[in-house]
Amino acid sequence: MIKKILVSQPKPTSDKSPYYRIAEDFGVELVFRPFIKVEGLSSKEFRQQKISITSFTAVVFTSRHAIDNFFKIAQEMRFEIPDTMKYFCVTETISLYIQKYVQYRKRKVFFGSTGKIDDLVPLMMKHKQEKYLVPLSDVHDNSVKKLLDTKGLQHTECVMYRTVCNDLTEEEVKNFDYDMCVFFSPSGVAAYKKAFPDGCGAAPMKAATFGPATAKAAHDAGLDVQVEAPSEKYPSMTSALRRFLIDQED
């Protein structure tokens, strides 16, 4: 039985987080401890890519980190973002985060429903005249570029932030007593493997993963992947985790 789960993300700031409801409904202990941390590129590092933010008419956001660092870079480089700029986000939650920086207007903010950029593309196709900027982490593949290329969209990918390991302390490794770990990136899996190169316990650690790249990294690392999100039926990690815990009780 799963009784103690490590979620490799920062602790939710809202008391209404679905994670707290899961803990209450299933009597499991959830501990939030990021395995990675995100660092934004400096304006000097960004300039080396020779990209001018003001030459784009739309931005594609795949995470809140992308939003934070887009506006940070714009401010540091004194790029004035026009009111006509359009924002395309992979989820509604990410789109709402834009309010931290600009006034939210439905006519210029668009979002998908599943967290996958594939499901955002039809909306982007309706605005084919736009020039899209896609901020990414330093850890990414060419899947986004290839997808947008096939649709004939005008787009440029750029790196705006990097992920680095947030290593476990010796004490954390010694007292590691979780039944399952929840991972959101291949970097998180790498941090776990760094702490436990020979595994943790007799059996492989049970894992829940978000995103196909994370799932592949977990499988390759020899983890026992029990939950994979997002899916059409369970678009979020919390909904997929809830389904898993329900099945576990049956």
CA distance 187 to 70: 21
Looking at residues 145-151, what average pLDDT do you find? 95
Q: Is 182 in contact with 6 (CB distance < 8 Å)?
A: yes
Q: Is 226 in contact with 180 (CB distance < 8 Å)?
A: yes
Is the pLDDT at 133 greater than 80, yes or no?
yes
End-to-end CA distance of the chain: 11
Residue 115 lies in a domain: yes
CA distance 235 to 18: 13
Neighbours of 190 (CB within 10 A): 18
Residue 52 lies in a domain: yes
- Sign for the CA dihedral angle at 227, 231, 117, 95 comes to negative
| Domain of 54, in residue numbers | 39-163
- For 40, residues 6+ apart whose C-beta sits below 8 A from its C-beta are 68, 69, 72, 73, 160, 161
User: Residue 26: its pLDDT value, please?
Assistant: 96
Looking at residues 153-172, what average pLDDT do you find? 91
Is the pLDDT at 49 greater than 90, yes or no?
yes
Question: Mean pLDDT, the chain, as a whole number?
Answer: 92
pLDDT tens, position by position, 187-238: 899 999 999 999 888 889 999 999 998 999 999 999 999 999 999 899 899 9
SS3 201: coil
User: Residue 122: its pLDDT value, please?
Assistant: 95
Residue 207 lies in a domain: no
User: Residue 9: its pLDDT value, please?
Assistant: 92
Residue 181 lies in a domain: no
Residue 136 lies in a domain: yes
CA distance 110 to 114: 13
Looking at residues 146-164, what average pLDDT do you find? 94
User: Residue 107: its pLDDT value, please?
Assistant: 73
Determine the Cα angle at 192 with ends 157 and 247, to 5°. 95
User: Residue 25: its pLDDT value, please?
Assistant: 96
Neighbours of 91 (CB within 10 A): 22
Residue 149 lies in a domain: yes
CATH number at residue 153: 3.40.50.10090
Residue 210 lies in a domain: no
> Peptide bond before 82: cis, by omega within 30 degrees of 0?
no
Greater confidence (240 vs 36) lies with: 240
Q: What tokens were used for 103? A: 């006034």
- Indicate the number of domains in the chain: 1
CA distance 160 to 44: 11
Q: Is 192 in contact with 221 (CB distance < 8 Å)?
A: yes
pLDDT tens, position by position, 75-111: 999 998 988 999 999 988 899 999 999 887 777 999 9
Percent of the chain with pLDDT over 90: 73
User: Residue 116: its pLDDT value, please?
Assistant: 84
Percent of the chain with pLDDT over 70: 100
Residue 54 lies in a domain: yes
CA distance 224 to 204: 6
